[in-house]
């Protein structure tokens, strides 16, 4: 479930600079032509150099696109048939003795995994078009910042999840975010309270379903152009750097864990810090947590510079397969 | 401590680490030591309890949000 979505997100962002082409192909597709397939197909067209962007936009790839859509329809029917035939699995369990430590590790692993894979769903609506939602988001962020724990915590979190970005298309279709608008939304929310900046950035990252760091880099770039560049030594700049480090760290956990050779103890620390952030917010990280992040990020970054693109692609594919079942 | 293990559709054994109830629907959270985990909904099949995959991502999100909220306290206990 999540693997496909994450794969699609990766490809969407790779294609973000070719948005017109994606949009053109999407216009040819029926509703069942999913975002995942749309971007994968667009990528294939480009990688195989069958058509240039211009040729696609001029309709020269239309026959190819129609053929692909037919194949997709057949695949869709096949999947639906399989789903209909899917049987329930009777609950048959056996008992096993395990240690409480091991059990806690299973919980932590799942907490962290749930965060990595995506804990929020994607819905439409844009924060910038909805004043009430903006207000809700501000209240939510303020609540996080004050470390309060009210009953509607999850409700507020969902509001943020559903509105901190713009999505075009319906629920089952393209997942294409408007990065400049996200940046502007963050500026709006934090304009009267710069202290909320880091929370806003980190929540945005999580709400983007742990999307590629490239995407957050683009958002950060917009932020720097708009507010940070004017005062490079400002507290906001420092916070931006902290956030970027954290994002690097999170990405490395997602994709590079197997090559970095973290020890069991380090990996346990990683899980705890990610899960703790996800549960109680960035402000709850203590100095030890921050030091842990700093050390682990350095270790990961040291490795990253030695990796080639092919290795990274291979790791991404592997990591994608590892997430969920 | 005792843990319950069940073999899922992929043929692998998973520990049942939690039960989540949302709107009268019961869900089981499964996990393995190698970071794999799964969420399944409990349904009645011919009068017996069985599990099935979730309907969509939204249902999955709801369950995992509840799971995260439920285990939030574990970190406080540690500190």
Q: Which of A106, A254, A281 to mutate to test the interface with B (most CBs of B within 10 A)?
A: A106
Choice among A26-35, A136-145, A312-321 with the minimum mean pLDDT = A136-145
**Chain A partners within 8 Å of B58 (Cβ):** 121
**Chain B partners within 8 Å of A278 (Cβ):** 68
Tell me the per-residue pLDDT of B16-68, one tens digit each, with 9 for 90 and over.
Answer: 999 999 888 999 999 987 667 889 999 888 888 899 888 766 677 678 777 87
Sheet holding B48-52, edge to edge: A89-90, B48-52, B37-45, B25-31, B13-22, B2-7, A93-97
Say yes or no for a CB contact (<8 Å) between B5 and A95: yes
Min Cα separation B51/chain A (Å): 5
| Burial of B46: CB neighbours in 10 Å, binned 0-12, 13-18, 19+ | exposed
Tell me the per-residue pLDDT of A135-150, one tens digit each, with 9 for 90 and over.
Answer: 444 444 444 333 334 4
Closest partner residue to B15 (CB to CB) among A92, A106, A113 is A106
Q: Looking at per-residue confidence, does B71 or A320 come out higher?
A: B71
Binned at pLDDT 50, 70 and 90, residue A225 comes out as: low
Instruction: Quote the radius of gyration of chain B (alpha carbons, Å).
Output: 14
pLDDT at A145 (0 to 100): 36
In whole angstroms, what is the distance from residue A115 CA to residue B2 CA? 27
The domain in which residue B63 lies consists of 5-78
Count of domains observed in chain B:
1
pLDDT at B16 (0 to 100): 95
B59 touches chain A (CB under 8 A): no
Tell me the per-residue pLDDT of A251-288, one tens digit each, with 9 for 90 and over.
Answer: 444 444 445 555 666 666 666 665 565 455 555 567 77
Bridge partners for B16 per DSSP? B30
In whole angstroms, what is the distance from residue A231 CA to residue B10 CA? 55
Tell me the per-residue pLDDT of A72-93, one tens digit each, with 9 for 90 and over.
Answer: 667 767 766 666 556 788 899 9
Min Cα separation B12/chain A (Å): 11
Say yes or no for a CB contact (<8 Å) between A111 and B67: yes
Say yes or no for a CB contact (<8 Å) between B74 and A154: no
pLDDT at A218 (0 to 100): 60
Min Cα separation B21/chain A (Å): 16
Identify the three-state secondary structure at position B35: coil
B51 touches chain A (CB under 8 A): yes
Chain pair A-B, CB pairs under 8 angstroms:
130
Predicted complex ipTM exceeds 0.95: no
């Amino acid at each position: 479930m999540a693997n496909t979505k994450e794969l699609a997100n990766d490809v969407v962002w790779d294609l973000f600079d070719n948005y017109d082409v994606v949009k053109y192909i999407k216009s040819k597709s029926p509703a069942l032509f999913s975002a995942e397939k749309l971007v994968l197909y667009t990528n294939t067209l480009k990688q195989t150099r069958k058509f240039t962007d211009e040729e696609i936009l001029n309709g020269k790839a239309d026959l190819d696109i129609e053929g692909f859509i037919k194949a997709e329809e057949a695949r869709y029917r096949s999947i639906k048939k399989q789903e209909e035939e899917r049987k329930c699995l009777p609950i048959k369990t056996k008992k096993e003795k395990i240690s409480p430590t091991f059990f806690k590790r299973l919980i932590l692993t799942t907490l962290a995994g749930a965060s990595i894979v995506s804990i929020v769903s994607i819905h439409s609506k844009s924060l910038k078009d909805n004043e009430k939602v903006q207000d809700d988001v501000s209240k939510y962020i303020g609540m996080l910042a004050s470390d309060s724990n009210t009953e509607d915590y999850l409700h507020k979190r969902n509001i943020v999840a559903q509105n901190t970005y713009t999505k075009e298309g319906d629920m089952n279709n393209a997942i294409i975010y408007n990065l400049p608008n996200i940046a502007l939304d963050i500026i709006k929310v934090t304009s009267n309270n710069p202290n909320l900046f880091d929370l806003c950035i980190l929540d945005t990252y999580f709400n983007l379903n742990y999307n590629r760091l490239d995407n957050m880099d683009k958002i950060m770039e917009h932020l720097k152009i708009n507010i940070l560049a004017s005062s490079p030594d400002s507290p906001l700049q420092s916070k931006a750097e902290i956030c970027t480090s954290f994002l690097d760290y999170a990405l490395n956990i997602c994709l590079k864990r197997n090559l970095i050779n973290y020890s069991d103890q380090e990996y346990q620390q990683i899980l705890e810090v990610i899960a703790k952030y996800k549960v109680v917010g960035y402000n709850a990280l203590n100095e030890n947590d921050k030091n842990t992040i700093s050390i682990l990020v350095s270790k990961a970054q040291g490795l990253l510079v030695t990796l080639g693109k092919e290795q990274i692609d291979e790791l991404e594919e592997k990591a994608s397969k590892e997430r969920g079942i | 401590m005792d843990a319950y293990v069940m073999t899922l559709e992929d043929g692998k054994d998973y520990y049942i680490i939690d039960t989540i109830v949302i709107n009268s629907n019961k869900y089981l959270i499964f996990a393995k030591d190698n970071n794999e985990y799964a969420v399944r909904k409990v349904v009645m099949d011919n009068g017996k309890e069985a599990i099935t995959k979730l309907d969509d991502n939204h249902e999955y999100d709801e369950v995992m949000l509840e799971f995260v909220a439920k285990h939030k306290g574990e970190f406080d206990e540690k500190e």
